[in-house]
Structure 1
Amino acid sequence: MDRNALLVGGAVGVVVVAAVTAVLVPGVLADPTDEGPIRPGPVDVADVSIAAGPATGETVTLGIETRIDHRGNPTQNVSVLVRAIDAESGLLATTQRVDVGNISRDGETTAATNLTVPREGGYDIEVALYREAERVDQAKRSVSGVSAIKPPYLQSTTSFTDTEALPPVSYSIEDAGEDRTTLDLTATLTNTGDEPAEDLSVTFVLRQAESNIVASRTTVDAGTISAGRTDSVDATATVPSGYNYYIDAVLMRDGVVIDTARGAANLNPTRTISVNQTTEDVELRVEDFEDDDDRTPEDYESERTRTESSAPGFGVVVALVALLATALVARRWRQ
């Protein structure tokens, strides 16, 4: 047989076998344009920001915004896990997961969520970025002073002043009696807002420094304080003389405490107190702080009995003198 014919026949046989195999077994021949599985593009945490949201008396909501940076090929099944950990105890307070889904375009993508935590202390916010089930990046931020985020009913632009030249609470003596002293009290308020402040009141509470006994309590209307203005609220209080007192001023609106301040009134010239400490204890007479309007008829009867029992003619000495005089008279009568 001709050698050339044999070679041509063998080549034709190989082509036929390859064609039959390709038909019977799809995919046995590789596509020269197929580059294999597409490698997902890289993703990472670009930044994390925290904003204060709504607050109640017990909790506050923190708005967590995570910016994700993506480059290259599309990335599927991206998610963000956000955790709030108590900064003092290290205990997990709450956690949230955000499903971002597939990211195909280059640039930053935002994932936002809210975490509700107790309104106290501080928290470490941990953000973990996942692709499929694999953690690919993470970030950490901290927030402190969460208790300063106030609910709406505690929010106010008005507060007591806090300067040495204009103290929040001051007093002067109107009438100094032997047993009672009348004080003129003044509280200074500043409205830092853009609107007038209304429906405010100030309660003055005077406590004897060493015993903490409330000697006087009075509430006055603060009126209207214009925007950006400082105004004063005045009241009077009568207390027992010769003692030192803390003057607590409480700013209230609709029964809610907005702000507090403290001053000191030194009515005992031999001992002085400051707002933060006392220098010496004093002897306290509780009866000085009793309210005459609260005394019962039994109290007056007891006082009258004590007075009569100490009156002239009922003492032991007087009785002995009378007995001796009677004996002398009887003796002279027998003589």
Structure 2
Amino acid sequence: MDRNALLAGGAIGIVAIALVTALVVPGVLADPTDDGPVRPGRISVSEVTIAAGAATGETATLDIETRIEHGGNPTDNVSVLVRAIDEESGLRMATEQVSVGNLTRDGEVTAGTNLTVPREGGYDIDVILYRNAERVDTAQQRIRGVEAIKPPYLRTNTEFTESEALPPVSFSIAEAGDNRSTLDVGATLTNTGDTPTDDLSVRFVLRQAESNIVASQSTVDVGEVGPGRTATVETPVTVPNDYNYYIDAVLVRDGVVIDTARGAANLNPTRTISVNETTEEVELEVSDFEDSDTTSGDDDYRTEESGATQTGTPGFGPVVALVALCASVLALRRWRQ
């Protein structure tokens, strides 16, 4: 057989076998345009915003919105973990993780998370971005004064004024007596909202400054306060003279304390107090704060009984003392004899 023909037949056979193998076994021939596995696109936390959500007397819910920026190739299995750390103790108070899924388009996507924390103090909010359980980026926000997030029953647009010209609590002397005086105590409130309020009342409590004894208290309805309007409520109270008092005004709605304010009434001309002043020890006559109709029959009986005991002579009577003296003289004479 011709040698050239034999070589040609062998080459043809090898080419045929290669073609059959490529058809039967996919992937044997590499694609010259293939660059290997596709790298995921870039992702990062672009912004974190926090808003106040629902609240109860003990807890507050924080609505946290995380904006994620994506670009390049598709990115699979993206998630966001959010946690609240107490600013004072450093303890983790709440944690939530939300799945974002697969990102294919360039731009920003939003992931919303809700965290419920105790309604007090402040928190550091940590946001951690994951891709396939691998941490990619982090961000942090700080919030303070969570107690300002009030539940519905504490929300009102009417509160005590904060002005030197219109102090929240004031008083005037309506009637001055020898032992007691009647004061007209008042409170000034302002409605800062857009709707009127008409379901509020103010409770006035007068406490003797040094002892904290409640000398008098009274409650008065506020009535309707229009939007943007200021109203003053007054009520008379009677207290003993020559003492100084703190006037506590408590704004109440349906048994719930909404706001408080304090003033001072100085009825002792030799000593004055203010709402920010430290108290000192003074002489106090508790009977001045008793009700005027209190009976004292038992006290009179005790006084008379006590007086009789004090005027009586303690020990032996005078006759017994004289007999004892004579016996001592006789015993002394006999001893000398």
Judge same fold: TM > 0.5, yes or no. yes
- 2:123 corresponds to which residue? 123
State the secondary structure of the residue aligned to 2:89. coil
Return the TM-score normalized by structure 2: 0.87
Report the more deviating stretch, 253-262 or 24-33.
24-33
Q: Contact between 1:59 and 1:116, CA under 8 Å: does it hold in 2?
A: yes
Asked whether 1:150 is paired with 2:147, we answer: no
Q: Are the counterparts in 1 of residues 199 and 253 from structure 2 also a CA contact under 8 Å? A: yes
Query: Secondary structure, in 3 states, of the residue corresponding to 2:153?
Result: helix
Structure 2 CA distance for aligned equivalents of residues 308 and 174 of structure 1:
42
Tell whether the 8 Å contact from 2:209 to 2:279 is kept in structure 1 after alignment. no
SS at match of 1:11: helix
Decide whether the 8 Å contact of 2:84 with 2:126 is kept in 1: yes
Partner of 2:334: none
Q: Structure 2: how far apart are the matches of 1:154 and 1:183? A: 30
Equivalent positions of 1:254-265 (< 5 A) are: 254-265=254-265
C-alpha displacement at 1:21, in angstroms?
A: 3.0
How many angstroms apart in 1 are the aligned matches of 2:168 and 2:90?
Answer: 39
Listed as ranges, the gaps of 5+ residues in structure 2 are 313-337
Greater Cα offset, 200-209 or 299-308: 299-308
2:232 alignment counterpart: 232
Q: Does the residue aligned with 2:260 lie in a helix, a strand or coil?
A: strand
Is it true that 1:189 corresponds to 2:186 in the alignment?
no
User: What do residues 119-165 of structure 1 show as CA deviations (whole Å, max 9, x unaligned)?
Assistant: 00001111111111111111111111000110010001001111111
Looking at structure 1, the residues matched to 24 and 156 of structure 2 have their Cα atoms a distance apart, in angstroms, of 82
> What is the TM-score normalised by the length of structure 1?
0.87
DSSP-derived class of the 1:120 partner: coil
Q: Which moved further from structure 2: 25-34 or 104-113?
A: 25-34
Is the contact between residue 210 and residue 279 of structure 2 (CA under 8 Å) also seen in structure 1?
Answer: no
CA distance in 1, matches of 2:158, 2:23: 86
Counterparts of 2:140 and 2:307, CA distance in 1: 81
Question: Do the aligned partners of 1:67 and 1:108 also contact (CA within 8 Å) in 2?
Answer: yes
Deviations 1:32-85 (Å, cap 9, x if unpaired)? 444432111111111110000011000010001011111111111111011111
1:35-46 superposed matches below 5 A: 35-46=35-46
Look up the equivalent residue of 2:200 and give its one-letter code: L
Equivalent residue number for residue 325 of structure 1:
none
Structure 1: give runs of 5+ residues left out of the alignment: 318-335
Q: What is the CA–CA distance in structure 2 between the aligned matches of 1:214 and 1:34, rounded to whole Å?
A: 88
Shift of 1:31: 3.0
Equivalent AA in structure 2 for residue 54 of structure 1: A
Distance 1:38 1:129 in 2: 21
The whole-number CA distance in structure 1 between the counterparts of 2:127 and 2:82 is 5
Displacement, 1:300? 2.2
How far apart are residue 17 of structure 1 and its match? 2.7
Secondary structure at the residue paired with 1:97? strand
Matches of 2:182 and 2:133, distance apart in 1: 75
Which residue matches 2:25? Answer: 25
Q: What is the aligned partner in structure 2 of residue 300 from structure 1?
A: 297
Corresponding residue for 1:54? 54
**Does the residue aligned with 1:303 lie in a helix, a strand or coil?**
helix
Deviations 1:178-220 (A, max 9, x none): 2111111111111111111111111110000000000001001
Contact 2:122–2:142 (8 Å) recurs in 1? yes
Aligned counterparts of 2:138 and 2:52: Cα–Cα separation in 1: 22
Question: Residue 109 of structure 1 corresponds to which residue in structure 2?
Answer: 109
Percent of residue pairs identical: 69
Q: Report deviation, 1:7.
A: 4.0
Pair 1:23–1:279, CA change in 2 (3 A):
closer
Corresponding residue pairs, total: 312
Question: Match for 1:207: what amino acid?
Answer: R
**What residue number does 2:206 align with?**
206
How much does 1:292 deviate? Answer: 3.2
Q: Deviations over 1:278-302 (max 9, x none)?
A: 4643100111111134x35xx3243
Matching of residue 161 in structure 1 with residue 158 in structure 2: no
Contact 2:84 2:125 in 1 (8 A): yes
- Contact 1:41/1:72 (8 A) holds in 2: yes
Q: Secondary structure at the match of 1:198?
A: coil
Amino acid corresponding to residue 9 of structure 1 in structure 2? G
Q: Is residue 271–residue 280 contact of structure 1 (8 Å, CA) maintained in 2?
A: no
Whole-angstrom CA distance in 2 between matches of 1:278 and 1:36: 78
Match of 1:72 in 2: 72
Q: 1:16 and 2:13 equivalent? A: no
User: Counterpart in 2 of 1:137?
Assistant: 137
